[in-house]
């Protein structure tokens, strides 16, 4: 019976983790797929989302869902401004874009250290209470996290496949010259998708924050995890990232259940090296 309940915990928390990691990696994939640029600041925005939500909830005492909405909109706005004013002139220069991202990451990490002092912060759970799922008891919070992440994923799916702007983003990611010929404002799409990408990073940070403590080191781990997920899924492939996030989320929860927390990141790293050695395009990517 204990075996079944352990297995149940592994599968359920793996699914929840996979869901949130999926959101995080989706942001990175989106930014890479549109502009062919790597977003160094993904981990920094991950913790900034969590810090902003923590500030609004515990210091300003705002309503929880309102503060989540507010902090994600802050990141969205910042993304719009940053892409439009800073990244735009350097878009074609790969090394410059990476370097600017690295610089911004340093600034954001340092500001977080300075403004919120280095002690680890705990975001209170979004909802109290527990819930019985099959053989295991999980906190209500995890279930709500799962539902929010699912809701966002469904919204994104709807946005990308049914709305004109979403379809325009997909068109640009497939062929930006062709997209500009048929009258899509490619500049705006670049800016918009960058802002969506970092908002997703921040949102996943908020959703994960009640499970892990918020600290500046968490940003580095988040960046590493997002990179590994994106590589396993195949660069630029949304479907691949989602599958990879679920696979790696399962692996993470199984390893922390049966082996130990510390083994998670090293084993993810070896999985990445193996994937690159044997099948560099990942699950669904193109070379």
* Binding flag, residue 212, other proteins (CB under 8 A): no
> Which region among 45-53, 66-74, 122-130, 273-281 touches other proteins (by CB under 8 A)?
273-281
Place of tokens 């998708």: 193
Nearer residue to other proteins within complex by CB, 22 or 35: 35
Q: How far is the CB of 235 from other proteins (least distance, A)?
A: 7
User: By the 8 A CB rule, do 124 and 114 touch?
Assistant: no
Instruction: Using CB under 8 A, pick the residue from 86, 122, 150, 259 that binds other proteins.
Output: 86
Place of tokens 């990179």: 227
* Binding flag, residue 235, other proteins (CB under 8 A): yes
Please state, in angstroms and rounded to a whole number, the distance separating the CA atoms of residues 278 and 146.
33
Instruction: Using CB under 8 A, pick the residue from 85, 154, 258, 269 that binds other proteins.
Output: 269
> Which region among 45-53, 139-147, 148-156, 224-232 touches other proteins (by CB under 8 A)?
224-232
> Which region among 46-54, 60-68, 241-249, 272-280 touches other proteins (by CB under 8 A)?
272-280
Q: Which residues contact 79 (CB under 8 A, 6 or more apart)?
A: 191, 194, 195, 196, 197, 198, 199
Q: How many CB atoms lie within 10 A of CB 151?
A: 10
Q: How far is the CB of 272 from other proteins (least distance, A)?
A: 6
Please state, in angstroms and rounded to a whole number, the distance separating the CA atoms of residues 165 and 185.
10
User: By the 8 A CB rule, do 140 and 129 touch?
Assistant: yes
* Binding flag, residue 83, other proteins (CB under 8 A): no
Nearer residue to other proteins within complex by CB, 129 or 266: 266
* Binding flag, residue 273, other proteins (CB under 8 A): yes
Q: How many CB atoms lie within 10 A of CB 233?
A: 28
> Which region among 89-97, 166-174, 193-201, 207-215 touches other proteins (by CB under 8 A)?
89-97
Beta strands per DSSP E along 136-278? 136-139
Nearer residue to other proteins within complex by CB, 32 or 190: 32
* Binding flag, residue 111, other proteins (CB under 8 A): yes
| 281 phi and psi angles, rounded to 5 deg | -85, 5
């Amino acid at each position: 019976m204990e075996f079944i309940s352990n297995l149940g915990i592994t599968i359920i928390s793996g699914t929840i983790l996979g869901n949130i990691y999926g959101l995080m990696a989706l942001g990175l994939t989106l930014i890479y797929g549109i502009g062919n640029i790597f977003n160094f600041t993904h981990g920094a925005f991950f913790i900034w989302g969590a810090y902003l939500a923590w500030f609004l909830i515990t210091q300003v005492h705002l309503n929880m869902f309102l503060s989540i909405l507010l902090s994600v909109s802050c990141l969205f706005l910042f993304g719009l401004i940053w892409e439009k004013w800073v990244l735009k002139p350097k878009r074609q220069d790969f090394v410059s874009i990476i370097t600017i991202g690295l610089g911004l990451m340093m600034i954001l990490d340092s500001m977080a250290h300075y403004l919120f002092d280095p002690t680890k912060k705990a975001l209170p759970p979004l909802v109290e209470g527990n819930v019985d799922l099959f053989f295991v008891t999980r906190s209500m919070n995890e279930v709500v996290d799962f539902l929010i992440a699912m809701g966002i994923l469904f919204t994104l799916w709807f946005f990308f496949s049914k709305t004109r702007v979403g379809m325009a983003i997909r068109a640009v990611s497939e062929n930006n010259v062709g997209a500009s010929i048929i009258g899509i404002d490619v500049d705006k799409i670049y800016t918009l998708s960058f802002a969506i990408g970092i908002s997703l990073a921040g949102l996943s940070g908020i959703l994960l924050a009640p499970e892990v403590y918020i600290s500046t080191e968490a940003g580095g781990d988040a960046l590493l995890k997002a990179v590994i997920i994106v590589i396993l899924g195949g660069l630029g492939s949304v479907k691949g990232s989602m599958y990879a996030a679920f696979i790696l989320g399962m692996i993470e929860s199984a390893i922390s259940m049966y082996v130990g927390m510390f083994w998670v990141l090293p084993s993810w790293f070896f999985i990445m090296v193996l994937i690159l050695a044997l099948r560099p395009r990942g699950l669904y990517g193109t070379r």
